[in-house]
A and B are shown apart, each in its own frame.
Chain A
Amino acid sequence: MCPECGSADVEWFTASGRATLYSYVINHRPARGFEGDGPYAIAVVQLAEGPRMMTNIVGIPNTPEDLILDMELQVTFEQRGDVSVPLFGPAGAAR
């Protein structure tokens, strides 16, 4: 249901995959399974459609100099274990 108005008239739709970088940290204490990656950004992105979500940023070094708030991003999917997770990289970058 819609938490704004309580309506049950909701539907699934395919989002554009476009987003902007809303905020992040660069984690230096890796979680289990992330030990090999070096420091990695745990980011929150703002989808073009409005909602925000947590993700990782790929296709660009995860440094304060490279990760600029409000930069434009595009979704990409990566298989991690038995789930496919939505990650984000710079918009327009060839992958």
Chain B
Amino acid sequence: MSRAALPSTSTDRGVIIAGAAETNALGKLPGYSTLQLHVEAAVNAVADAGLRMRDIDGVATVNAPGPVQVAHALGITPRYMDGTGVGGTSFLLHVRHAAAAIRAGYASTVLITHGESGRSRVGATPFPRGASSIPGQFEAPYGTAGPTSSFTIPVLRYMKEYGLTHEQLAYVAVAQRKWAARNPRAMFRDPITVDDVLASRLVAWPFHLLECCLVTDGGGALVVTSADRAADFRKPAVHILGTGESMDAPMISQMADFTESKAFRLAGQAAFTEAGITTADVNHLMIYDAFAHVPIYGLEALGFTAKGEAGAFIADGNTEPGGVLPLNTNGGGLSYTHTGMYGMFAIQEGVRQVRGEAAAQVPDVNISVVVGNGGMFATSGVLVLGRQPS
């Protein structure tokens, strides 16, 4: 593996994930407020690292509730706060920003939390946006009903340009259910077929119910610190080898190209360059799958397949158990859980796979790549996680 001479590659400048955990339960949790989900995840992640809450001096999360409410509830007065909120990928950006803050000396140990009462909506932020907002002016008048009816729009263009079939799109859900069947914490575990997917209720043609993510309650949290402390924790360190962030357009209609994600591509290039890796080095991959087409866009944007070939790549079994590129091994947003901002759960599975403690463990994961999207195709963060410091 060739490595670029970047400061992050030296051990003394390295940054690790030292703690990672989810809430005790995921799914339908009407007894938990949004803030409680953050708190439980935070307590679990700090315990996972073998630290105490007073060891935390940086806090990052999305508004609302945001870092001030979370830190206050945990009894922390951090010297570093990050409230970056660019959708479900935000937590990948929090990891990136935490790495920079730790290198800069702004914090030594950053806690990143997610909690969302996506299903029960206890203490959740209301959905509708004002009529004068950009989506209020240019999307809502046409009867959009959340991401199911807008995130999904580009795929028909992709199907026409590249010949992706309805069966191939459906197979994305089939492949991920095979992983979910091996994961006791996954919400949906029963095997499904392409016919099952295509027979499920239409949500927004060409998307059926089984091609759309779940809506659940839950949370997760991470503890990020410097690699010189890698031996101090309860579990093997997960090294943050490279990170990237980028954006496309704030509305789906303005996306630069309906057949590819510019945000995935640019964030991926940044992360791979920093880590000094190519796709051949990647043993395990997570791509935020809010809908069945997103892993297809992710595989192509990061160069795992040529343009137009990712649908066939998945349908040929390459990403399922026993395949060459294990993808979304927790079952993904389609089968595992999806609170609304799923990025945290994609990171959690990447960490588990690198540590060797996943429910559906892939053998010998040296490098896991986590790809997040936010605001539908608006934003992306990418993380390269490694078992070794370089």
- B205 close to chain A: CB less than 8 A: yes
Instruction: List B residues 261-307 near A (Cβ within 8 Å).
Output: none
- B36 close to chain A: CB less than 8 A: no
- A95 close to chain B: CB less than 8 A: no
A51 to B251, CA, bound (A): 13
Instruction: List B residues 224-262 near A (Cβ within 8 Å).
Output: 251-254, 258
Instruction: Give the Cβ gap from B250 to chain A, nearest Cβ, in Å.
Output: 12
- A54 close to chain B: CB less than 8 A: yes
- A23 close to chain B: CB less than 8 A: yes
**B205 near A28: Cβ-Cβ < 8 Å:** yes
Interface size on B, residues (CB 8 A): 30
A53 to B254, CA, bound (A): 7
**A69 near B251: Cβ-Cβ < 8 Å:** no
- A25 close to chain B: CB less than 8 A: yes
- B130 close to chain A: CB less than 8 A: no
- B148 close to chain A: CB less than 8 A: yes
**B143 near A40: Cβ-Cβ < 8 Å:** yes
User: Could you tell me the dominant secondary structure of chain A's interface residues?
Assistant: strand
**B253 near A31: Cβ-Cβ < 8 Å:** no
- B124 close to chain A: CB less than 8 A: no
A28 to B203, CA, bound (A): 5
Give chain A residues whose Cβ lies under 8 Å from the Cβ of B150.
Answer: 42, 54
Instruction: Give the Cβ gap from A60 to chain B, nearest Cβ, in Å.
Output: 15
Give chain B residues whose Cβ lies under 8 Å from the Cβ of A55.
Answer: 142
Give chain A residues whose Cβ lies under 8 Å from the Cβ of B144.
Answer: 27, 31, 42, 54
Which single member of A42, A52, A53, A64 contacts B143 (CB below 8 Å)? A42
A45 to B139, CA, bound (A): 13
A40 to B205, CA, bound (A): 10
**A39 near B148: Cβ-Cβ < 8 Å:** no
A30 to B145, CA, bound (A): 7
The digit string for A37-77, where 1 denotes a CB below 8 A from any CB of B, is 10110111000000011111000000010000110000000
**A25 near B207: Cβ-Cβ < 8 Å:** yes
Instruction: Give the Cβ gap from B303 to chain A, nearest Cβ, in Å.
Output: 24
Residue of B nearest to A53 (CB): B253
Residue of A nearest to B254 (CB): A52
A54 to B141, CA, bound (A): 9
- B204 close to chain A: CB less than 8 A: yes
Given contact pairs A25-B206, A39-B202, A53-B138, enumerate 11 new A-B contacts (beta carbons under 8 Å). Answer: A25-B156, A25-B207, A27-B145, A27-B148, A28-B202, A28-B203, A29-B148, A44-B252, A55-B142, A64-B205, A69-B156
- Which residues in B have some Cβ–Cβ distance to A below 8 Å? 138-145, 148-150, 152-157, 160, 201-207, 251-254, 258
Offer 9 A-B interface pairs, CB within 8 angstroms, sorted by A. A22-B258, A23-B258, A26-B202, A29-B203, A39-B202, A43-B142, A44-B258, A54-B139, A83-B141
- Which residues in A have some Cβ–Cβ distance to B below 8 Å? 22-31, 33-34, 37, 39-40, 42-44, 52-56, 64, 69-70, 80, 83, 85
